[in-house]
Amino acid sequence: MVVQSYYDFASSIGFSVRLGSTKNILDKETGQKILVMKRLLCSKQGSPNLILPLTNGTRRKNGVFRCGCLTSVKFKRTDRSDNWVTDSVNFDHNHPFTTPSKIRYLPINRSISHTSKLLFSSLADVHVPVSQQAAYFSNQLGGPQNTGCMTLDINNMVRDDRIELKNYDVDLIIEEFEMKKLCALLL
């Protein structure tokens, strides 16, 4: 609950959050890892030089937005329960926040609901292009500001579904060969 509250806070203020680090301990009774600490960072935290080092004195032009922001929040779990407390907070942003009109474009505010995924999948099954899917969805919800996702998010969902389907097909082929091999051994 505390972690979700921080996501909501960041979303309303105008900055995006990413997971920085976690700490797990091993439960000796069950042998499973238990998450006991989580550090959330501003998505602009870090140095761009550490992410993409220079090659031959030049850097490829891409969307690196890190600027060394120091904002972070550390949450700890209390007594292995589901209760989380804020351990440390640093709100030293060194960059301007996203303007209110652009907050909906932050990754923290973009998601595709399960119902929308089903709609997009059914439209993709009948070969409706993603751009038309996004336009239809936008019209149904009263404009792009109400969709909660962008065309890029829909494209990524379609790509992930294709990859999952290919992996599923490979698994079916492997299973079929194993069945044939088993049948050949029995004969």
Closest CA to 76 of 28, 127, 40: 40
- Asked whether residue 59 carries a pLDDT value surpassing 70, the answer given is no
CB 110 within 8 A of CB 149: yes
pLDDT digits (tens, 9 = 90+) for 155-176: 888 888 878 777 777 777 778 8
Query: For residue 116, how many other CB atoms are within 10 A of its CB?
Result: 19
- pLDDT for 56 equals 65
Residue 57 confidence class, pLDDT cut points 50, 70, 90: low
Residue 48 exposure: Cα atoms within 13 Å on the Cβ side: 11
- pLDDT for 1 equals 65
Task: Calculate the alpha carbon distances from 28 to 25, 32, 67, 171 in Å.
Answer: 9, 8, 41, 35
Domain residue ranges in the chain = 1-99, 110-187
Cα 5 from Cα 90, distance rounded (Å): 16
- pLDDT for 52 equals 54
